[in-house]
């Protein structure tokens, strides 16, 4: 049984499974492995230090797969923002046909991508944001529930409600993000109105993920409670794995009168990169979602995607079908 959706048809992929953009993780090794396995791999633009480095990473990914892959461009407000327009130009000039956008006021980027015939997936954390993105002209909404790693927004709406609430309002295809890692989740997302799933944390625990094995085993050992919500005081909530650093961030943030400068030394991206690359789990933040509780091994991307699709087919054909009464004529 093949699961065909509007999403797989639009992107020309075999499986309705996306590896979302992840800082320091979305490199050619992982993106190409996911695409070769039948899903959609995504490079993370800002992991590359310059737009020219991004061009080289796109070229490197093309030597590793002939399947569709995308590039993530996340736009965040900053006192000293990276040269977003130059990264956008590198994506366009490299002939990339699929882009995942996220973040703050992406209109100018979406307009330029669309003008060059690029399919745009936009990540949202609320129905109102999804409707705004649809009006903006994106092709697919990636709706990100409260269970996710990264920034789930400030509404605290889990996927069980957020996915169908979005599907009820949005006409373009949606894929479900946050809390997905197996075939049961894929079938649930499809039942709720999505046409695919986006996974981040689950892909970190694969053999091809370019991070230290200590981090992968940390994700396997953790359960669904092993996350912290940080930055809530500052209305920029983020979900990360629980370690000594994130525990400290929460403790300081809860102090009366705490300001962001009090935690800044603990939350720098360079420290998180150090944790991922050296395996020192107390070096910085490790971004991870509640799906940790359903991660029990470190397979290859091919093994993972084949397993998810096999589980999904079994759930649909065996478990769900078993709840339906057999028609009398058939039973006779």
Q: State how far the Cα of 19 lies from the Cα of 51, in Å rounded to an integer.
A: 22
Q: For 285-300, what is each residue's pLDDT tens digit? A: 999 999 999 999 999 9
Residue 106: its pLDDT value, please?
Answer: 93
Going by the DSSP 8-state scheme, the letter that residue 220 receives in this structure is: H
Q: For 174-218, what is each residue's pLDDT tens digit? A: 999 999 999 999 999 999 999 999 999 999 999 999 999 999 999
| Beta carbons within 10 angstroms of residue 329's beta carbon | 6
Output the CA torsion 44→50→55→56 (10° steps). -100
Measured at the alpha carbon of residue 26, what is the angle toward residues 166 and 213, in degrees to the nearest 5?
A: 115
Q: State how far the Cα of 168 lies from the Cα of 193, in Å rounded to an integer.
A: 8
Domain annotation for the chain: domains and CATH numbers:
6-208+300-316 (3.20.20.70), 220-278 (no CATH)
Q: Which residues contact 232 (CB under 8 A, 6 or more apart)?
A: 253
Residue 1: its pLDDT value, please?
Answer: 57
Cβ 37 vs Cβ 304: under 8 Å: yes
Residue 41: its pLDDT value, please?
Answer: 98
Q: State how far the Cα of 7 lies from the Cα of 79, in Å rounded to an integer.
A: 36
Q: Which of 98, 37, 39, 32 is nearest to 60 (CA)?
A: 32
Three-state helix/strand/coil letters over 133-165: HHHHCCCEEEEECCCCCECCCCCCCCHHHHHHH
Q: Residue 106, exposed/middle/buried by CB under 10 A (0-12, 13-18, 19+)?
A: buried
Quote the tokens at residue 6. Answer: 């509007």
Q: State how far the Cα of 180 lies from the Cα of 186, in Å rounded to an integer.
A: 7
Q: For 241-286, what is each residue's pLDDT tens digit? A: 999 999 999 999 999 999 999 999 999 999 999 999 999 999 999 9
Q: State how far the Cα of 145 lies from the Cα of 167, in Å rounded to an integer.
A: 13
Q: Residue with structure tokens 């479900």? A: 176
Per-residue pLDDT band at 330 (split at 50, 70, 90): low
Residue 49: its pLDDT value, please?
Answer: 97
Q: State how far the Cα of 271 lies from the Cα of 2, in Å rounded to an integer.
A: 42
Cβ 143 vs Cβ 121: under 8 Å: no
Q: Residue with structure tokens 């529930």? A: 145
Q: State how far the Cα of 180 lies from the Cα of 197, in Å rounded to an integer.
A: 7
Q: For 68-113, what is each residue's pLDDT tens digit? A: 999 999 998 777 899 999 999 999 999 999 999 999 889 999 999 9
Residue 68: its pLDDT value, please?
Answer: 98
First to last CA, the chain: 27
Cβ 166 vs Cβ 128: under 8 Å: no
Quote the tokens at residue 151. Answer: 């920034």
Q: State how far the Cα of 113 lies from the Cα of 106, in Å rounded to an integer.
A: 11
H or E stretch at 94: none
């Amino acid at each position: 049984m093949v699961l065909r959706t509007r999403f797989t048809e639009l992107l020309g992929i075999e499986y309705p499974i996306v590896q979302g953009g992840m800082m320091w993780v979305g490199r050619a090794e992982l993106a190409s492995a996911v695409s070769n396995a039948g899903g959609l791999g995504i490079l993370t633009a800002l992991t590359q230090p310059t737009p020219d480095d991004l061009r080289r990473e796109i070229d490197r990914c093309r030597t590793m797969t002939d399947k569709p892959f995308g590039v993530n461009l996340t736009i965040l407000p900053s006192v000293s923002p990276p040269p977003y327009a130059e990264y956008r130009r590198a994506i366009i000039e490299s002939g990339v046909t699929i882009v995942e956008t996220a973040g703050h006021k992406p209109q100018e980027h979406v307009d330029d991508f669309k003008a060059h015939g690029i399919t745009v997936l936009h990540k949202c954390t609320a129905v109102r944001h999804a409707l705004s993105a649809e009006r903006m002209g994106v092709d697919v909404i990636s709706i990100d529930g409260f269970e996710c790693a990264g920034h789930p927004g400030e509404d605290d709406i889990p996927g069980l409600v957020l996915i169908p609430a979005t599907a009820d309002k949005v006409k373009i295809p949606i894929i479900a993000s946050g809390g997905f890692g197996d075939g049961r989740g894929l079938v649930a997302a499809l039942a709720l109105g999505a046409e695919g799933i986006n996974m981040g944390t689950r892909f970190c625990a694969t053999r091809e993920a370019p991070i230290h094995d200590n981090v992968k085993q940390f994700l396997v050992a953790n359960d669904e409670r092993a996350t912290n919500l940080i930055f809530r005081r500052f209305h920029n909530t983020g979900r990360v794995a629980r370690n000594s650093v994130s525990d400290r961030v929460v403790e300081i943030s809860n102090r009366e009168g705490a300001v962001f400068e009090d935690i800044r030394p603990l939350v720098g991206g360079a420290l998180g990169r150090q944790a991922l690359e050296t395996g020192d789990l107390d070096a910085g933040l490790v971004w991870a979602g509640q799906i940790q509780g359903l991660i029990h091994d470190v397979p290859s991307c091919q093994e993972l995607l084949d397993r998810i699709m096999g589980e999904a087919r079994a759930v649909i054909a065996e478990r769900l079908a078993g709840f339906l009464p057999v028609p009398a004529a058939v039973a006779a």
